[in-house]
Chain A
């Protein structure tokens, strides 16, 4: 069921709070990337992805892969909102002894297609899924979200070649372009400049957008759906830690776990953003 953007504008703050609760309670996780990519997840799941708990065995369901699997807390929050899992159960058990909710996506969890998180794996798998749709003449689409630091993995570019070689216009990738990875600025670690031109050179249609603007993301996914003959890569320009000034644009928050004081600060920041939306 497609939800109005106005509703999603409100939703994105409590879902961030849930991811924060998972990380704080589980004492591990990747909040910076959660907060940069969660808006794209929300727009995809509630406006574009043809996949619901009732469709899990439907051969024609849309496929989604979170190749940047470390943002799993954001993924869990969105899956819970979509009705696949119970968010209270996730917050209580995430990363606990023997828990099924581990720190990267696992296909034992309803709604998760494949085990991901080793970077660079998602795009080739997504190519296989999209190619299967072509072979079976099914209409489903395949989506793959990657991190920008992830693009240093050679297998990403092997998948990039396959995507265009097989003219997989039913495939849409998204790069969470937050410019930060564990060791710092992506441009200091391994340059990714001319990113749009790189993907275009590999035969992809490229859409650049503000990756923390729901309307812009919505338009980008629509453009991808309307693009024929080649796959689409959305370069979603995001802010790491978006929504929490404490965390925004700080590489350290890639995998830092907040202490009690920081938790309260971030919680307050998210609450303020939610109130801003409510007050128009």
Chain B
């Protein structure tokens, strides 16, 4: 199978599912090109809705469609979807319990060169704070496919954030264990526990290999389900390790790190560190340059994990 960006996988899943499910309705806010949804709009025009550059209307209309039996999928850049229409997500989707899947594309620092206006560093914290809203950051194309299919099979709202570019595989097409809301433990070690979400899962796997080479035994957990957080997986990882680090392509407050810290602090205290973007506008660069700058690439994660482990001893 061709290596696809997660956004393209979502478009592909929607195309395939719409072939047999006329209740699926896809809505875009002048974002169908970025979402790789042009083929969907051409193939299923009666199940495709273009609202123009109007994210509040996008999510409100999605909720109205869902309240009338549709499986509404609203696809828009994560930066705008998560915050411009935050109140519609909070009230019209989560509070009114409508079957809306919010897909935030070009998430995190996918638009690294475009500045903070186009980056979504606060989306995880914002959406995870809403009761009845689920938050998912799949780590690769295979998991994205399974996640989208699972979400189209249930009738609850969710926020899914994916990046713009192709990302390295964490799984294989025929080896992608998936259970909704259950994290995957990708490797187990006894020194460091790395709990990551989204595109940083792969970086953590690479970091774990580097740490292993230096004799540091490392657990890596793919917490694609930030909410509901798989507490059992967090505790299992923490209990087996001396220190816990989280990694996320997001601002440092209120996201995966904060949520894991609450669980670890209450139920299995360990020295804990959050690896994240800064609480400041991100300095311009490609995603790779930004990750390297802020220590979120494999080398940076390995270095900080090693230092943190040493300091904890």
| B299 sits at the interface (CB 8 A) | no
Interface of A is mostly: helix
Q: Hey, what's the 0/1 contact readout for B57-75 against A, CB within 8 Å counting as 1?
A: 1011111111111101000
Partner of B56 from the list A63, A130, A154 (CB cut-off 8 Å) is: A154
Task: Flag if B96 contacts A114 (CB, 8 Å).
Answer: yes
Q: Determine the chain B residues whose CB is within 8 A of the CB of A107 once the complex forms.
A: 96-97
Task: Flag if B56 contacts A125 (CB, 8 Å).
Answer: no
Task: Flag if A155 contacts B61 (CB, 8 Å).
Answer: no
CB-CB nearest in chain A for B46: A135
| B25 sits at the interface (CB 8 A) | yes
Q: With the chains together, A130 CA to B65 CA distance in Å?
A: 8
What's the nearest-Cβ distance from chain B to residue A100, in Å?
Answer: 14
| A31 sits at the interface (CB 8 A) | no
| B248 sits at the interface (CB 8 A) | no
Q: With the chains together, A26 CA to B110 CA distance in Å?
A: 51
Task: Flag if B95 contacts A129 (CB, 8 Å).
Answer: no
Task: Flag if B91 contacts A128 (CB, 8 Å).
Answer: no
Q: Determine the chain B residues whose CB is within 8 A of the CB of A126 once the complex forms.
A: 64
Q: With the chains together, A221 CA to B52 CA distance in Å?
A: 30
User: A124-B88, A161-B52 given as contacts; is B60 within 8 A of A129 (CB)?
Assistant: no
User: A107-B96, A114-B96, A115-B96 given as contacts; is B65 within 8 A of A129 (CB)?
Assistant: yes
User: A107-B96, A121-B92, A124-B57 given as contacts; is B69 within 8 A of A59 (CB)?
Assistant: yes
What's the nearest-Cβ distance from chain B to residue A57, in Å?
Answer: 11
| A162 sits at the interface (CB 8 A) | yes
| Listed residue (A123, A125, A126, A128) with the most chain B CB atoms within 10 angstroms of its CB | A128
Task: Flag if B87 contacts A114 (CB, 8 Å).
Answer: no
User: A121-B60, A121-B88, A124-B88 given as contacts; is B54 within 8 A of A131 (CB)?
Assistant: no
Task: Flag if B60 contacts A131 (CB, 8 Å).
Answer: no
Q: How many residues of B contact A (CB 8 A)?
A: 30
Q: With the chains together, A38 CA to B255 CA distance in Å?
A: 45
User: A107-B96, A132-B70 given as contacts; is B57 within 8 A of A158 (CB)?
Assistant: yes
User: A115-B91, A132-B70 given as contacts; is B54 within 8 A of A127 (CB)?
Assistant: no
Across chains A and B, the number of contacting residue pairs, with CB separation under 8 Å, is: 97
CB-CB nearest in chain A for B87: A118
| A133 sits at the interface (CB 8 A) | yes
Task: Flag if A114 contacts B67 (CB, 8 Å).
Answer: yes
| A159 sits at the interface (CB 8 A) | yes
Q: Determine the chain B residues whose CB is within 8 A of the CB of A136 once the complex forms.
A: 68-69
Task: Flag if B95 contacts A127 (CB, 8 Å).
Answer: no
Q: Determine the chain A residues whose CB is within 8 A of the CB of B51 once the complex forms.
A: 158, 162
| B49 sits at the interface (CB 8 A) | yes
Interface residues in B28-60 by Cβ distance below 8 A to A read 46-47, 49, 51-52, 54, 56-57, 59-60
Task: Flag if B60 contacts A124 (CB, 8 Å).
Answer: yes
What's the nearest-Cβ distance from chain B to residue A65, in Å?
Answer: 9
Task: Flag if B68 contacts A129 (CB, 8 Å).
Answer: yes
Q: With the chains together, A133 CA to B92 CA distance in Å?
A: 19
List 22 A–B pairs whose Cβ atoms lie within 8 Å, in order of A's numbering.
A107-B96, A114-B67, A121-B88, A124-B64, A124-B92, A125-B64, A125-B67, A126-B64, A128-B64, A128-B72, A129-B64, A135-B70, A136-B68, A136-B69, A154-B56, A155-B57, A155-B60, A155-B88, A158-B60, A159-B61, A162-B57, A162-B61
A115-B95, A161-B57 known; 11 other A-B pairs, CB under 8 Å? A113-B67, A121-B91, A123-B60, A126-B64, A132-B64, A135-B25, A135-B70, A158-B54, A162-B57, A162-B61, A165-B52
6 smallest beta-carbon distances between A and B, as pairs: A128-B64, A124-B60, A132-B68, A158-B57, A128-B61, A155-B56
Residues of A within 8 A of B (CB): 59, 63, 107, 113-115, 118, 120-121, 123-133, 135-136, 154-155, 158-159, 161-162, 165
